[in-house]
Amino acid sequence: MTAKARGRGAARVGGAGEPTAIVLRSAREIGLLRDAGRAVAGVLDALERLVAPGITTADLDAAAENWIRAAGGVPTFKGYRGFPAAICVSVNDEVVHGIPGARRLQGGDLVSCDVGVTLGGYIGDGARTFALPPLDDEATRLLAATREALDAGIAAARPGARVGDVSAAVQAVVEAAGFSVVRQFCGHGVGTSMHEEPQVPNYGTPGRGPRLRPGMVVAIEPMVNVGRYDVRVDANGWTVRTADGSRSAHFEHTVALGPDGPAILTVP
Ligand code: MG
């Protein structure tokens, strides 16, 4: 799940009770975060097998919640600031935070699934966009650019670098592909709370922002729009969609910074 970018009136990443300073995690804690991340990857793999024309987004939510609980975890998003479901499912022009419901998927849909799992008190956060065939050329390029932007952001997340290096790496890939990165929502630290410091925007300036240090754990999550980067939030208070109606994609990994470089935690 993405964080609302700090701006006028939004002083910090998290909600009540979430930490206000960057927390460095021990090797033991990173092991626990890896367990949670592995569960996230398992859920996303299961969702990838399920996504097909005719299935509802509520079906995906129910399957994900069953999978999470069978793994001994808790769906982190459920009840988070009142979010009513276990996962977020955002289709086509929906960017993030879509609420699962009666919508039936159709051929050609782009389906972004965002999954959070709390396991033993530690949280994994990850997202993928699945495409239902037939896949047009624009959608193919959108998914490739978003995946590549995430990879570039992760590669830039090396100790000694700064958050702005990650942000700029993501932005460069997206804009070179002719798409735009969402600015109102961003990645974030993750640990025992879902949204911790620092914020990790998907656009920015190299050499700026907090210094990256071993033990930091961050969710890097480019949200990429075919058209303009502006988004709006539905009356339900959650669903974020592109202002211009263009399609959007979202890929996210939870990443731990080791002394030698980044390690992706949301993998099987
Ligand atoms: Mg997130």
- Separation of 135 CA from ligand 1 center, angstroms? 26
- Separation of 13 CA from ligand 1 center, angstroms? 11
Residues within 5 A (CB) of ion ligand 1: 1, 125, 219
Is 19's pLDDT higher than 80? no
> Region 92-100: what's the mean pLDDT?
98
- Separation of 222 CA from ligand 1 center, angstroms? 10
> Region 200-206: what's the mean pLDDT?
97
What is the pTM (predicted TM-score) of this model? 0.95
| Cα separation, 224 vs 50, whole angstroms | 24
- Separation of 133 CA from ligand 1 center, angstroms? 27
H helical segments located in the chain: 27-50, 57-70, 137-155, 163-176
Are 254 and 218 in contact by the 8 Å Cβ rule? The answer is: yes
Is 14's pLDDT higher than 80? no
- Separation of 219 CA from ligand 1 center, angstroms? 5
Report all structural domains of the chain as residue ranges with CATH numbers, in order of start.
Answer: 19-264 (3.90.230.10)
The confidence band for 20, taking pLDDT boundaries of 50, 70 and 90, is confident
